Structure 1
Amino acid sequence: MNIGVLKEAKEETRVAVTPDVVDALKKIGASVIIEKGAGEGSYFSDEDYKKAGASIQSRADILKKSDLVVSIHLADGASLSKIKKGAFYLGMFQPAVNPQVIKKLSSGKVTVLSLDAIARITRAQSMDVLSSQATVAGYKAVLLASTHLTRFFPMLTTAAGTITPASVLIIGAGVAGLQAIASSRRLGAVVDVFDTRPEVKEQVQSLGAKFVEVEGASHSAAAGGYAVEQTEEYKKRQQEAIEKFAAKADVIITTALIPGRKAPIIITKKIVDRMKAGSVVVDLASPNGGNCEYTQHGKVVLTKNGVSVIGHQNLAGSLPSDASKMFAKNVLNYLKLLVKEKKINLDLSDEILSSTTITHDGEIRHKLTLDALGGSKQDGKKPAAKKKA
């Protein structure tokens, strides 16, 4: 069984498989093929991969030989068309955002496995790429905010007087939000947190932040722990509460995402226009349209009232070495479940494997992708029996 690892597009610094997991992949029965230069952006050389036991080959050879191809993002169209029929393709592909690409892969009988669709259950935590990469993004968001903020984060008592601590407002207490809370508190800031899920209140408070409750939120249980769309009445109450806290905030960090949907606008221009001059907004939802009306993806916008609104291109990729190691460990743990007796064994009765299997046997199985394509009866089929490849 050959596992081929592709080099990402030039704007992506991360790599899907790092040298430290190559030996473990070999132990489950895989020969690992790395595209030349795939690890350069993450500071892993071809020689590092060779020492770990991988072979370095061209993209064409990888696509031709691999039983399972791995990349973080979807490769370019020309490369995707050359993945061999019946092969598996693993990564973090946002299938509902890229439905036409998924449809073409399905037509070519490629089984698409997307880790960003993984079931949010305890058993899947070690494979959850959204969580691992959100950890990196939440940490780096705070550091980025601190470099743009015009004042200190911690309280300082000096001969020149006392400096009060910065006030940080965090929207969303998922993995990224919780990491942002912890990092902000380490730097000495006072932190307020909004989230539509009341069940995260205890986690927020355990990190030393204040949880701001807004009544009437739609429950997230039906969405498997992911955020859900809220009612207009709730949004209005939330907006009023956020306006109050934003007016005193030095930093706002937004993390609100809904799978398969454009990111909801939470921080309006009106809210930003009332913030203090020199304040900062870091929008982690920038790749999906942004939670702030001023956000421009990949840019820092300075508003007329002196607020910096940051829509970073790829926060996880700004710490590529560790981000790649975390992603690679997620991939390894997933493959330990997928590969049995040195063969790919796609057991669709397993909740983890079923949730991540976007296409199989020429059919699209992922509901959000089907919805994006206009709907289909395919998502109503019963899981197939165990398949081997």
Structure 2
Amino acid sequence: MTIGVLKEPSEETRVSLLPEAVTALTKKGITVFVESGAGEKAFYNDDEYVKAGAVIKSRGEVVQSSDILLAIHPFPEAANLKTTILIGVYQPLFNVPVMQQWAKQGVITFSLDMLPRTTRAQSMDVLSSQANIAGYKAVLQAANLYGRYFPMFMTAAGSIAPAKILILGAGVAGLQAIATARRLGAVVEVFDTRPAVKEEVMSLGAKFIEVEGAADASKAGGYAVEQSTDYQQRQQQRIAESIAKADIVITTAQIPGKKAPILISEEMLQSMRKGSVIIDIAAATGGNTPVTKNNQTVLYKGVHIVGDSNLAASMPSDASKLYGKNVLNFLQLIIDKEGKLNLNWNDDLVKGCCITNNGEVVHERVK
């Protein structure tokens, strides 16, 4: 059994496995090929991978010689693969043509962002491990851009009021953003369509904005769901009231396979005071504002709007460590104790994140 680790595209700093994860695999008798330079942006050089038991190879050698290829993002060489297993975060609901192409080639694709979000899957939940970092970094990025203090200060020269932060979405990223903002001394309000998160929000010291009549999101795997027109109107009114008072807004709302919902209208943006900051984590799927641009900072009438869905990559070492641990835990489901491939299609997690197999797209939602 050979597992290959590929170097990610230039804009990505993370790597699928750090040397410590490689050690865990080589102890099982698994051969690990690592593309030269794969871990450099996460602060690990080739020598450290060699010490962990890996073999450094060129990209072409890794691609052609591996039974399982680990790559966080889709990569061009996949177009020429034959019957290899790919594991990564491929956003198959947005990359349907890519999945169809891989299926035609006979590639078996596991996309870890499609894992069923059950208790058993928590140890391999890449979305949660990376969202945790994103929520933390979103607040720090906002603090850097915001031209005022976060905490309240009382000094001989006068008093400084604390910053007011509005967080839209109390998933993993949102909850971590609350905790980080509170540690920095900000006053935090939180909106979420799921009433069930109210207790968590309040336990972190934030105020929960309630809008009655939300559609049931209990079966959406921790994501938002589409709401009725009546609910959306009331939601917009409540958000508008809070956003007019907010100094910082962090938006995290996404719906799997669909464009991110617009939660902040242009009218709301115009009500914010100059110098305010919006960090839009949903930028990759369109963003929660009408002017968000992914991987860009837009200045809209004095308000900075940062579109960044890859904040986890700004902490490459820890992000790679957590991601690698998720991958290791998933590999335990498809590799037996002797280090041999064992694809158990009766396992709901293995089946649940398999996108292509036997020459076709097998995941129902991607179909």
Q: Report the TM-score, using the length of structure 2 for normalisation.
A: 0.97
- Identity percentage over the alignment? 53
Which position in structure 2 is the counterpart of 1:326? 322
Which position in structure 2 is the counterpart of 1:380? none
Q: Does 1:144 align with 2:141?
A: yes
The alpha carbon displacement at 1:222 in A equals 2.8
Q: Does 1:111 align with 2:111?
A: no
Which position in structure 2 is the counterpart of 1:203? 200
The alpha carbon displacement at 1:282 in A equals 0.4
The alpha carbon displacement at 1:30 in A equals 1.7
Structure 2: distance between partners of 1:7 and 1:84:
20
Which position in structure 2 is the counterpart of 1:20? 20
The alpha carbon displacement at 1:235 in A equals 1.0
What is the one-letter code of the residue matched to 1:325? K
Contact 2:88 2:111 in 1 (8 A): yes
Which position in structure 2 is the counterpart of 1:171? 168
Contact 2:165 2:189 in 1 (8 A): yes
What is the one-letter code of the residue matched to 1:47? D
Structure 2: distance between partners of 1:114 and 1:51:
29
Can you give the 5+ residue segments of structure 2 that lack an aligned partner in the other structure? none
What is the one-letter code of the residue matched to 1:69? L
Which position in structure 1 is the counterpart of 2:307? 311
What is the one-letter code of the residue matched to 1:309? I
Structure 2: distance between partners of 1:339 and 1:298:
37
Give deviations 1:84-141, integer Å, cap 9, x for gaps.
32x2100000001001110111111111000000111111111011001101111000
**Where do residues 151-170 of structure 1 align in structure 2 (5 Å cutoff)?**
151-170=148-167
SS of the aligned residue for 1:157 comes to strand
Which position in structure 2 is the counterpart of 1:268? 265
Structure 2: distance between partners of 1:283 and 1:119:
25
**Where do residues 1-389 of structure 1 align in structure 2 (5 Å cutoff)?**
1-76=1-76, 79-85=77-83, 87-304=84-301, 306-312=302-308, 314-340=310-336, 341-370=338-367
Give deviations 1:21-80, integer Å, cap 9, x for gaps.
11111234421110111111111111111111101101111111111000111112xx00
Q: CA RMSD in A?
A: 1.1
SS of the aligned residue for 1:358 comes to strand
What is the one-letter code of the residue matched to 1:222? K
Contact 1:145 1:282 in 2 (8 A): yes
Give deviations 1:137-179, integer Å, cap 9, x for gaps.
1100000000111210001111112211110000000000001
SS of the aligned residue for 2:232 comes to helix
Contact 1:64 1:82 in 2 (8 A): no
The alpha carbon displacement at 1:314 in A equals 2.4
SS of the aligned residue for 1:258 comes to coil
What is the one-letter code of the residue matched to 1:288? T
What is the one-letter code of the residue matched to 2:261? P
Q: Which moved more, 1:339-348 or 1:189-198?
A: 339-348
SS of the aligned residue for 1:345 comes to coil
Count of residue pairs the alignment pairs up: 366
The alpha carbon displacement at 1:361 in A equals 1.2
Structure 1: distance between partners of 2:30 and 2:208:
47
Structure 2: distance between partners of 1:126 and 1:25:
17
The alpha carbon displacement at 1:336 in A equals 1.3
Structure 2: distance between partners of 1:332 and 1:95:
21
Contact 1:220 1:228 in 2 (8 A): yes
Structure 2: distance between partners of 1:206 and 1:28:
43
SS of the aligned residue for 1:234 comes to helix
Runs of 4+ aligned structure 1 residues displaced above 4 Å come to none
What is the one-letter code of the residue matched to 2:12? E
The alpha carbon displacement at 1:266 in A equals 0.6
Which position in structure 2 is the counterpart of 1:373? none
Structure 2: distance between partners of 1:345 and 1:200:
38
Structure 2: distance between partners of 1:245 and 1:158:
28
Contact 2:171 2:222 in 1 (8 A): no
Q: Call closer, same or farther: CA 1:15–1:287 in 2, change over 3 Å.
A: same
Structure 2: distance between partners of 1:83 and 1:313:
29
What is the one-letter code of the residue matched to 1:223? A
The alpha carbon displacement at 1:313 in A equals 6.0
Q: Call closer, same or farther: CA 1:104–1:214 in 2, change over 3 Å.
A: same
Structure 2: distance between partners of 1:225 and 1:360:
27
Contact 2:281 2:309 in 1 (8 A): no
SS of the aligned residue for 1:346 comes to coil
Can you give the 5+ residue segments of structure 1 that lack an aligned partner in the other structure? 371-389
